[in-house]
Amino acid sequence: MRLLLVEDDESLAGALRAHLAQAGYAVDVADNGIDAEHLGDEIDYDLVILDLGLPGRPGLDVLRDWRAHGRRMPVIILTARDAWQERVTGFKTGADDYVGKPFHVEELLARVHAVAQRSHLHSNGPLQAGGLVLDEDTQSVVDAGGVRHALTGTEFRLLRYFMHNPGILLSRSRLTDAVYELDADKDSNVIEVYVNRLRRKLGRDVIHTRRGQGYLFGERRP
């Protein structure tokens, strides 16, 4: 899953990006409201963590514009402004959750996971699809036979995206955008390499290739 972290505190942004990456997320970072609004309009992020007190453009204005433009990605507001009135304003503007500073990173990660699960219409608990159960804490997967397989960071991000989108034909470019960050050296051919690695671990029939179109995990939706 690909996230946008909007935070102007460089040290905090660096620390959060590292924790999120360790948890298996591809993370882009913006340190001002103008860049954040542009990125959110141009890229289909799975989730945004948005500070309110931003240079260039306030976070609430950014969120308000995203919603006005029809951008519906989940947004978690991260801010030192913790008055209940501001929380209400944030939710009315279109926020999905609210975390006040200071906070524990573990709480933020739990909220990111919960909001992402809700946005993809999954119930609470481990992500399950295609006969697989994904363990996000250990970045491993249990197959239909009950065998657990360890995953590398890229394998984990790719499989999680497939499992969030069962039955949907996904192009290489879409998978690349979902798995890699803005500053990563992107090569869509690498996706085929990691798809084949997942097939070797989980079976050839887990992910189907549609030549010239992309890949399909699980049964195609009607």
Q: Which CATH number belongs to the domain containing residue 29 in this structure?
A: 3.40.50.2300
- 67-93 pLDDT, tens digit per residue, is 999 999 999 998 876 677 778 888 999
β partners of residue 30: 6
Same domain, 132 and 210: yes
Q: pLDDT tier at 156 (50, 70, 90 boundaries)?
A: very high
pLDDT at 200: 94
Same domain, 89 and 45: yes
Mean pLDDT, range 168-184, rounded to an integer: 83
Same domain, 48 and 156: no
* Listed residues 89, 119, 149: the one ending a domain: 119
Q: In whole angstroms, how far apart are CA 169 and each of 57, 120, 161, 206, 212?
A: 37, 16, 12, 13, 11
What would the two tokens of residue 58 be? 């306030």
Same domain, 11 and 82: yes
pLDDT at 123: 53
Where residue 182 sits, what CATH number does that domain have?
A: 1.10.10.10
Same domain, 182 and 82: no
Which domain does 199 fall in, by range? 127-217
- 1-26 pLDDT, tens digit per residue, is 899 999 999 999 999 999 999 998 99
pLDDT at 110: 92
Contact 48, 3 (CB under 8 A): yes
Contact 50, 77 (CB under 8 A): yes
Same domain, 144 and 72: no
β partners of residue 26: 2
Same domain, 201 and 156: yes
Strands 97-100 and 75-79 come out as parallel
Domain count, the chain: 2
pTM over 0.75: no
Same domain, 78 and 155: no
CA distance 172 to 187: 9
Q: For the chain, give the DSSP string.
A: -EEEEE-S-HHHHHHHHHHHHHTT-EEEEESSHHHHHHHHHHS--SEEEEESS-SSS-HHHHHHHHHHTT----EEEEES---HHHHHHHHHHT-SEEEESS--HHHHHHHHHHHHHHHTTPPSSSEEETTEEEETTTTEEE-TTS-EEE--HHHHHHHHHHHHSTT-EE-HHHHHHHHS-TTS---THHHHHHHHHHHHHH-TTSEEEETTTEEEESSPP-
Select from 154, 173, 217, 210 the least CA-distant residue to 44.
173
